[in-house]
Structure 1
Amino acid sequence: MTATSTKNFDEMLNEDGSVRPAYADFCNWYDSQDKNWLKRQDAEAERFFRRIGITFNVYGDEAAEERLIPFDMIPRIITAREWRKLTRGIEQRVRALNAFLQDLYHRQEIIRSGRLPMQALRNNDAFLTQMIGFTPPGGVYTHIVGIDLVRTGPDEFMVLEDNARTPSGVSYMLENRETMMAMFPELFTQVPVCPVSDYPRRLARSLRACAPPAYQGGKRPVVAVLTPGIFNSAYFEHAFLADQMGAELVEGKDLRVVDGRVAMRTTTGYKAIDVIYRRVDDDYLDPLSFNPNSILGVAGIMDVYRAGGITIANAPGTGIADDKAIYSYMPEIVEFYTGEKPILNNVPTWRCSEPDALAYVLDNLSDLVVKEVHGSGGYGMLIGPTSSKKELAAFEAKLRAKPENYIAQPTLSLSTVPIFRDSELAPRHVDLRPFVLVSPEGIDITPGGLTRVALKKGSLVVNSSQGGGTKDTWVLDE
């Protein structure tokens, strides 16, 4: 192997340059391959992604553009033992998130107890008063969850973010695996890797199990994926998942309320839907309940929902659990609802809404990562160690003007995994987003997830919108 170890935890190599057990079988295979052939396969993977249209739209520039998702063909490998610990921690956290949402929209015991301040909800747009007193079918709020993890040492995984609203990226996880199996079929006979290809079937089954009880008797519940349309950044994923699940892909214009049910237009008239996997934000879901100017949702869907006529996955109002200020309370939230200490730790977080924390952040801005509490995609954040004096000054002004809009965290020493560059291996920083399905039948965690990789040397930003790429994630089968 030609990659070299770094001061960050290298997931493939020990400090003396020897290969860790997780990568032993892969490295034996890799070392026996012709590097020119590997280089050709690397180019073929890019052509494959371009051919089937695995792209995303980039917003925020003067002209939005569609880009290819960069794919790296060196897998990220996790041992069965490591995965067992991760799944225990992820399941604990997801159980706590659902219990937290149930409590917030009902008795708010966690606020009464003093563990969470009322200020966390006050003036928070992600908290929907329309959901107060209502329990979704089966008691499930977060049907699909993405938990973003970072690794800082041999047994040190930490939760970076909770994605409880509309987590994306699972289609890239599936396409990454399909690409790897097509390019290197013999590799999968030498390395025992847990499969991920059955995720769409498991997703469909989980969603059907969440259908309103009144519509589960004797027939298979009808599931549809609600998309904002072809110009949405994740439209490829919406269409992909609908196709793989055998579900209908619909837009708001295809739906209407008929006889107290949400129904989709078909060639034979309108057909009632039991479960909507929505990829439309809360504010655009129902113009009668939220943004009156929205044309992306369905007028009256919230009335049908509250009457028990449809399941919306994920439930409206789950965005409060995505809030990065709420994230800072997750250790207390986990313990409050499970009675257990968190298995997976949070990244230390300063809430800039608190005067002492704000003073510390301003004094140490050049050493910290600062994020908007409602931000996503790597936008609206500052990475202090890589920022110029001008950027630091501009961000300081933002912090002073609206401190409650930000949290800050230390700059972590993220682990690295190898990528293929110029016929050699080079370490790059990564995170991991495992995908979790929740239904009344239980919690189902896909073995692996989406590994996002910062393709630029030294970069800590893994988001595809900021120049990052993806790679296949292998969980070794026992």
Structure 2
Amino acid sequence: MVTGDGHVRAHWQGFISSGAADGASMAERWDAGRRLLFQNGVTYHAYADPQGVERPWPLDPIPLLLPQSEWHMIAEGLRQRARLLDRVLADLYGEQTLVRDGVLPPALVLGDPGFLRACHGMDLPAGSRLTLIATDLVRDRDGIWRVLASRTQAPTGTGYTLENRVVMSQTLAEAFRGCNVERLSPFFEQLRQTLINLAPRRSGPDGCPRMALLTPGPLNEAYFEHAFLARHLGLTLVEGADLTVRDQAVYLKTLGGLERIDVILRRVDDDFCDPLELRPDSILGVPGLLEAVRAGNVMVCNSLGSGLTDSVALIPWMGALSRHVLGEAPLLADVPTYWGGDARQRAEMVAGLDRLVFRPAFSSLGHRTSFGPELNHAGRTELAASIRRRPQDWVAQEPIVPSTAPVWRDGKKVARPLVLRAFTCATPDGDWTIMPGGLARISADERFASVTLQTGAGAKDVWIVGATIGQPQRRRGAAAMMPDGGGDTGPRTGDLPSRAADHLFWVGRYAERADAAVRTLRAAARRLTDDAHPGAEEELVPLLRLMGFTGMIPMEISGLPQADAVRGMRQALEIVADPANPGGLRATMDRLRRAASGVRDRLPGEFSRVLTVLGDVASQPLKAEPAAMQLRLDEVSRLLASLIGLELDGMSRGPAWRFLVLGRRLERAIGIVGAFNGCGLGAGTAGTVASLSVLLELAAAGAAYRDQHPVGIRREPVLSLLLADDDHPRSLAFQIKTVQRQLVKLPPIDAEGLEVSPTKLANDLLETAAGMVADPQPTRDPTALADLTDRLGRLLPEISNLLSQAYFSHVFARTT
């Protein structure tokens, strides 16, 4: 931001003059920025965090500003480097002239675990090996940008970069416009167009290729980015289990059959992509994927084996490679690096144990870093022994004193080192385009450019500011109609992957299960605090039974007599408030969050935001004191009701919505039956007024009942309303009819080899259930009601099992 003598640099003048860097203004705006990040669910996963894997995205509220003149030099260097890496990768997996001619030592290539022998000789179209490249740059004290590392295997950060821009352009809107910041949207439009042009065929019904983003799954550190990027680019987010290879072609398992996939943008590391030919213990990849690539039936971006050019050990040879391959001197300098596999360089490493920074030579060996100046004598001795044992596994780099940038910490600006991750995308004409911005990562250590997010580093948005401050920049090309962060097409309503249908079904079930738990707990807490409620103490007895029946509390507490009901309920609330209770509300909310995280690309943005807030509220300690618990439960109840509203008014009536509704309605039907049994009406007993009153409250049916029967609570009309009134949204008949309506609209399943398909069996069971509920006898006869609840208690879960068999296991699939 400032020169050595303390003057503000020219390209920061517009930002400073806008007032955006003022302390009070920054604090107020950044409070809004944090809320935006939280509501958007922007997270990354810290694998070793004892507090849980999800962390909020650590975006700094002060962007990194770079002038166009400086960025132009960086971009030209990145473009040259992309051409070089693409040609080097093609040679090393092809004729290997660079090794034969002595430009690269054989051990550097063949000794790298990232060199996939199964990919050697694979015939790929020219320019298709690298689609997207990330390059980490550090600026030294002399103002020279140097390459720290390249990421060519599965480069991450583009999605986070776009999310950074969405938040910063809103919280610093005036400064953003005044600085004439280059837009990011054209880069993403180019990336999508490149993927389309790489497709070997166009399998979609509209003449477009079918494209997917392959993710390791919700537990990956960058899963948020995978879902965000898939939505933004219009790709189907898939895991390895969603795909299968048939006849050397890749297919997506959908509800309607197997849909052919033409392009895969992968975020799974090389050796995990195909357990058949690469890593046999991988459950993240697709068996037979390599064979499909060899046959030319699918394009994988970046190509399998591209992790080879991730190797930091290549850096000492980049200058020679540039001159040999391109006939050009490199435009970007590298951080001085030494590889232990070369005798001369190894000598430099051993001599510099007290000053160099040591890293694994190959990306597959991890990314741990040892700082020589920080090691004691024993540490240096141990490091030297490791280098002598396997010198080819180590590199050392000169400790660059990095340039710093302003960072917002505790209400003031402080200087911190950073590393800039820049992104390069291939274009259909064989050229490369550079994202006009990037992801700046703040060092967790003010002395070194150590920027792994796993150890607490932060992130910055990068603004490439225009030459004419204050003039709005014209947008170019196909992305001209898309604002930054636009282009989000939302959940797709076409064919749904089987895994996504499974997740959505359980999102519905867990959401309804959470709602039922909240209703039960609110009813219990209200009866402990409301002395004016007639029969409150008596009604605690069926509530305790229900809590025991549903697994919220131990059965020995649930069976207490009325004389001990108040004491028992207070103890029950303490058990429910325990976050370690597997049957408590917290556990149910965690299951809902996990199910939803696997399909966040299929849910409306508002749905995910409500879930994020809901998860935060539910994760806070739940006090067992009845009044405090009731207030918290009221808040959770409102958020759960918001989810229902978004289902009804925020989703297209496609397969995704149908499975969400099916899960919710089946779970509600199972819950109604469970409530009858739990409250004591399912064992051949007539039940009490207290039990009937509790059932009416849990079903939100009190007002409807009083409209028809203003005087007293009687068994037959209560049961008739809760069982057979198909106009009441919480009756058993309403749930069964809703499930029937949605089931007939699902894609048919080809159950070849079976006499009756699972969907036919499920429909038959639903018809049976509908007939049982319509029978008035159970409303009059306790024995008939017990028989009804017993049969439905077995029949309704079986319908869920049949749906799973038909649509989630994907046993029955046809190729389309």
- Asked if Structure 1 and Structure 2 have the same fold, meaning a TM-score greater than 0.5 normalized by the shorter chain, the answer is yes
Alpha carbons of structure 1 residues 64 and 118: separation in structure 2 relative to 1, 3 Å: farther
- The one of 287, 301, 320 equivalent to 2:289 is 301
Q: Render the CA deviation track for 1:359-390: whole Å, top value 9, x for unaligned.
A: 33223212111110124898321122344445
Structure 2 unaligned regions, length at least 5: 468-816
More deviation in 354-363 or 371-380? 371-380
Greater RCO structure (CA 8 Å; 6+ sep): 1
Number of the residue aligned with 1:124: 112
Residue 17 of structure 1 aligns with an amino acid whose one-letter code is G
- The one of 258, 266, 274 equivalent to 1:278 is 266
Tell me the secondary structure at the aligned position of residue 88 of structure 2: helix
Tell me the secondary structure at the aligned position of residue 191 of structure 2: helix
- The one of 54, 58, 69 equivalent to 1:66 is 54
Q: Displacement of 1:259 after TM fit?
A: 4.1
Tell me the secondary structure at the aligned position of residue 98 of structure 1: helix
Alpha carbons of structure 1 residues 275 and 288: separation in structure 2 relative to 1, 3 Å: same
Structure having the higher Rg: 2
Alignment root-mean-square deviation, CA = 2.3
Preserved CA contact (<8 Å) 2:99 2:105: yes
Number of the residue aligned with 1:445: 434
Preserved CA contact (<8 Å) 2:405 2:416: yes
- The one of 110, 114, 130 equivalent to 2:102 is 114
Number of the residue aligned with 2:443: 454
Number of the residue aligned with 1:352: 340
Preserved CA contact (<8 Å) 2:42 2:56: yes
- The one of 85, 91, 98 equivalent to 1:97 is 85
Number of the residue aligned with 1:19: 8
Preserved CA contact (<8 Å) 2:93 2:122: yes
Number of the residue aligned with 1:465: 454
Tell me the secondary structure at the aligned position of residue 63 of structure 2: strand
Distance in 2 (CA, whole Å) between partners of 1:81 and 1:154 is: 17
Q: Render the CA deviation track for 1:399-439: whole Å, top value 9, x for unaligned.
A: 23222111101110111111112332211101111111114
Residue 379 of structure 1 pairs with residue 379 of structure 2: no
Number of the residue aligned with 2:211: 223
Residue 135 of structure 1 pairs with residue 123 of structure 2: yes
Preserved CA contact (<8 Å) 1:137 1:308: no
- The one of 133, 137, 154 equivalent to 1:145 is 133
Alpha carbons of structure 1 residues 387 and 290: separation in structure 2 relative to 1, 3 Å: same
Alpha carbons of structure 1 residues 366 and 473: separation in structure 2 relative to 1, 3 Å: same
Alpha carbons of structure 1 residues 216 and 131: separation in structure 2 relative to 1, 3 Å: farther
- The one of 186, 194, 205 equivalent to 2:174 is 186
More deviation in 53-62 or 301-310? 53-62
Q: Render the CA deviation track for 1:8-56: whole Å, top value 9, x for unaligned.
A: xxxx11111001112111122237x652232132333233323322222
Q: Give the alignment of 1:20-35 within 5 angstroms.
A: 20-30=9-19, 35=23
Distance in 2 (CA, whole Å) between partners of 1:135 and 1:376 is: 25
Residue 334 of structure 1 pairs with residue 322 of structure 2: yes
Q: Displacement of 1:61 after TM fit?
A: 6.4
Tell me the secondary structure at the aligned position of residue 280 of structure 2: coil
Residue 476 of structure 1 pairs with residue 465 of structure 2: yes
Q: Displacement of 1:278 after TM fit?
A: 1.0
Q: Identity of aligned pairs, percent?
A: 34
Bigger proportion of residues as helix: 2
Q: How many residues align?
A: 466
Structure 1 unaligned regions, length at least 5: 1-11
Q: Displacement of 1:64 after TM fit?
A: 6.6
Preserved CA contact (<8 Å) 1:377 1:465: no
Tell me the secondary structure at the aligned position of residue 366 of structure 1: coil
Runs of 4+, deviation exceeding 6 Å: 61-64, 214-218
Residue 54 of structure 1 pairs with residue 46 of structure 2: no
Residue 238 of structure 1 aligns with an amino acid whose one-letter code is H
Q: Displacement of 1:214 after TM fit?
A: 7.6
Tell me the secondary structure at the aligned position of residue 13 of structure 1: coil
Tell me the secondary structure at the aligned position of residue 139 of structure 1: coil
Number of the residue aligned with 2:408: 420
Distance in 2 (CA, whole Å) between partners of 1:225 and 1:383 is: 37
Preserved CA contact (<8 Å) 2:19 2:25: no
Alpha carbons of structure 1 residues 43 and 216: separation in structure 2 relative to 1, 3 Å: closer
Residue 396 of structure 1 aligns with an amino acid whose one-letter code is A
Distance in 2 (CA, whole Å) between partners of 1:100 and 1:134 is: 15
Alpha carbons of structure 1 residues 182 and 162: separation in structure 2 relative to 1, 3 Å: same
Number of the residue aligned with 1:343: 331
Tell me the secondary structure at the aligned position of residue 295 of structure 1: coil
Alpha carbons of structure 1 residues 172 and 390: separation in structure 2 relative to 1, 3 Å: farther
Residue 302 of structure 2 aligns with an amino acid whose one-letter code is N
Residue 10 of structure 2 aligns with an amino acid whose one-letter code is P
Distance in 1 (CA, whole Å) between partners of 2:381 and 2:46 is: 27
More deviation in 358-367 or 285-294? 358-367
Residue 200 of structure 1 pairs with residue 188 of structure 2: yes
Preserved CA contact (<8 Å) 2:115 2:308: yes
Residue 99 of structure 1 aligns with an amino acid whose one-letter code is R
Q: Displacement of 1:461 after TM fit?
A: 1.1
Bigger proportion of residues as strand: 1
